C-alpha cells in the first residue's frame, strides 16, 4: 500500500517542484558537462529530488558584495569580484532589454544571490551539483568560480545567472532546450565597453570553443545517421534522443546554435516568434505553430551552424 501511494504521489511531486522552490532539477543548472542526470528515468529523478542537495555553507572569510541587482558572497579578491559584478549587471541590463515584457517583474525585486569562489578547487570542494560541473544554479543561488586562468573569467557565472533570471525574474516555463539555449546564448555573448551584446559571439566562452571540433559534412541526413547531429525533434522533445552522457558538447553546441539561429538567422525573422515560444513553453507543438515545420527549420539551422563553424575556423 505504501508503495502504491508513493507511485500515485510521484506525478504530483514532480509537478509541484517549482512551487516548492527546488529549482526544477539540479542537472539543468550545471555547466560544460551538465545534463547527465537529466537522462535518468522518472523514478530515479524523483528519488534524487526527494533528497535535494543542501546549499553549501559560506566559506570562512567570505564577504558579501552588493551591486545594483545582486548580492555576491565571494572568496575571490576585490578586483575579481568587481569584474564578476560588472558582468552580471551587464547581463541583467541586456536581458531586460532583450525581453522587455519581463521588466516590470524585476522592479522592486530582492537582490539576486550569487556565490563566487576564488578558484576551481574551492568550487569543487563545495560543489552540490554533478561532480563534473563548472557552475550550477540551485535556487535561489547561482554558484561559480572565477576562472582566472582563462581569457573570459566570468562566463560560467553568466550562464548560471541566465538560468536564475529565467526562473526568478522572467518565470519562463522550463523547457530544457530553451533553458540551456538561453544560458549558452547569453553566457557566450561578448561584453564590450561594459555592455553585454546579445548574440555577439565570444570565442572564449563555452560552448563556442567546441565549434572547431564540431564536424559536419554538409549532408544533414548523413550526419544524423552517423551520430554527428542530434535531430531537431529529438532535441526539443527528448524522445529518441542520443545519450547526453556521450554527447554533452554536441548537445550544448546545438542548444546554443538553435537559439542563436532563432534570434539572428535570416535577418532575425524568427526572433519575435521565438520570444513568444519561450514565454509559452518550448514544446514541439508550440515550435511548429510559431516558428514553422521543424524539418524545414532544421535544414536552415544546420546551414546556419555550418556558417558559424566556418567563421570560427577563419578566426583561428
Which runs of consecutive H residues, i.e. helices, occur in the chain?
2-20, 42-50, 78-98, 103-106, 120-125, 155-164, 176-187, 220-225, 232-237, 248-264, 271-280, 284-290, 294-315
Residue with cell 559571439: 201
Q: Residue 23 above 80 pLDDT?
A: no
User: For residues 223 and 109, which has the higher predicted lDDT (pLDDT)?
Assistant: 223
Helix axes 271-280, 176-187, angle to 10 degrees: 130
Cell of 154: 566570468
- Average pLDDT of span 272-289: 98
Angle ∠(266,268,271) on CA atoms, nearest 5: 130
Domains and CATH numbers, the chain: 1-172 (3.40.30), 208-315 (no CATH)
Tell whether the model's pLDDT for residue 102 goes beyond 60. yes
Mean pLDDT, residues 263-270: 97
Number of other CB atoms surrounding residue 263 within 10 Å:
19
CA 218/CA 316 separation, integer angstroms: 21
* Residue of higher predicted confidence among 31 and 184: 184
Whether the predicted pLDDT of 131 surpasses 50: yes
Judge whether residue 19 has pLDDT over 60: no
pLDDT at 38: 33
CB 73 within 8 A of CB 113: yes
Pull the grid cell for residue 287: 515550435
Q: In whole angstroms, what is the distance from residue 21 CA to residue 94 CA?
A: 26
Burial of 54 (0-12, 13-18, 19+ CB in 10 A): exposed
- Give residue for cell 535556487: 139
Report the C-alpha dihedral over residues 228, 234, 239, 243, rounded to 10 degrees: 30
The pLDDT of residue 106 is: 86
pLDDT at 31 over 50: no
Whether the upstream peptide bond of residue 279 has omega within 30° of 0, thus cis, is: no
Q: Please say if the pLDDT value at position 104 is more than 90.
A: no
Is residue 158 pLDDT above 90, yes or no?
A: yes
Q: Is the peptide bond before 207 cis (omega within 30 degrees of 0)?
A: yes
pTM listed for this prediction: 0.84
What does pLDDT average to over the chain? 86
The predicted-structure confidence for 66-91, as pLDDT tens digits, reads as follows 999 999 999 999 999 999 999 999 99
Cα–Cα distance measured from residue 124 to residue 144, given in angstroms and rounded to the nearest whole number: 10
Determine the average pLDDT of the residues in 11-39: 34
Q: What is the pLDDT of residue 51?
A: 61
Question: Over pLDDT 90: what percentage of the chain?
Answer: 77
Amino acid at each position: 500500500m505504501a508503495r502504491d501511494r508513493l507511485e500515485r504521489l510521484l506525478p504530483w511531486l514532480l509537478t509541484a517542484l517549482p512551487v516548492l522552490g527546488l529549482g526544477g532539477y539540479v542537472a539543468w543548472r550545471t555547466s560544460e558537462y551538465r545534463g547527465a542526470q537529466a537522462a535518468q528515468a522518472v523514478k530515479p529523478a524523483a528519488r534524487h529530488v526527494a533528497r535535494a542537495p543542501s546549499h553549501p555553507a559560506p566559506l570562512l572569510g567570505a564577504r558579501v558584495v552588493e551591486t545594483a541587482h545582486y548580492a555576491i558572497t565571494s572568496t575571490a579578491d576585490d578586483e575579481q569580484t568587481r569584474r564578476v559584478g560588472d558582468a552580471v549587471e551587464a547581463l541583467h541590463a541586456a536581458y531586460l532589454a532583450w525581453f522587455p515584457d519581463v521588466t516590470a517583474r524585476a522592479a522592486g525585486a530582492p537582490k539576486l544571490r550569487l556565490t563566487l569562489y576564488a578558484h576551481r578547487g574551492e568550487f569543487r570542494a563545495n560543489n552540490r551539483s554533478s561532480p563534473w560541473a563548472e557552475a550550477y544554479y540551485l535556487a535561489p543561488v547561482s554558484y561559480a568560480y572565477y576562472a582566472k586562468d582563462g581569457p573570459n573569467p566570468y562566463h560560467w557565472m553568466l550562464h548560471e545567472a541566465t538560468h536564475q533570471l529565467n526562473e526568478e525574474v522572467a518565470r519562463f516555463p522550463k523547457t530544457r532546450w530553451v533553458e540551456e539555449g538561453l544560458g549558452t546564448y547569453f553566457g557566450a555573448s561578448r561584453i564590450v565597453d561594459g555592455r553585454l551584446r546579445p548574440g555577439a559571439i565570444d570565442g572564449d566562452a563555452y560552448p563556442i570553443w567546441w565549434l572547431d571540433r564540431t564536424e559536419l559534412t554538409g549532408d544533414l541526413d548523413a550526419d544524423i545517421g552517423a551520430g554527428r547531429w542530434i535531430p531537431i525533434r529529438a532535441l526539443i522533445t527528448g524522445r529518441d534522443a542520443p545519450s547526453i552522457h556521450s554527447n554533452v558538447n554536441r548537445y550544448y553546441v546545438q542548444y546554443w546554435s538553435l537559439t542563436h539561429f532563432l534570434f539572428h538567422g535570416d535577418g532575425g525573422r524568427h526572433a519575435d516568434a521565438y520570444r513568444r515560444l519561450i514565454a509559452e513553453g518550448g514544446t514541439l507543438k508550440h515550435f511548429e505553430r510559431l516558428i514553422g515545420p521543424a524539418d524545414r527549420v532544421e535544414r536552415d539551422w544546420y546551414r546556419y551552424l555550418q556558417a558559424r563553424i566556418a567563421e570560427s575556423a577563419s578566426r583561428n
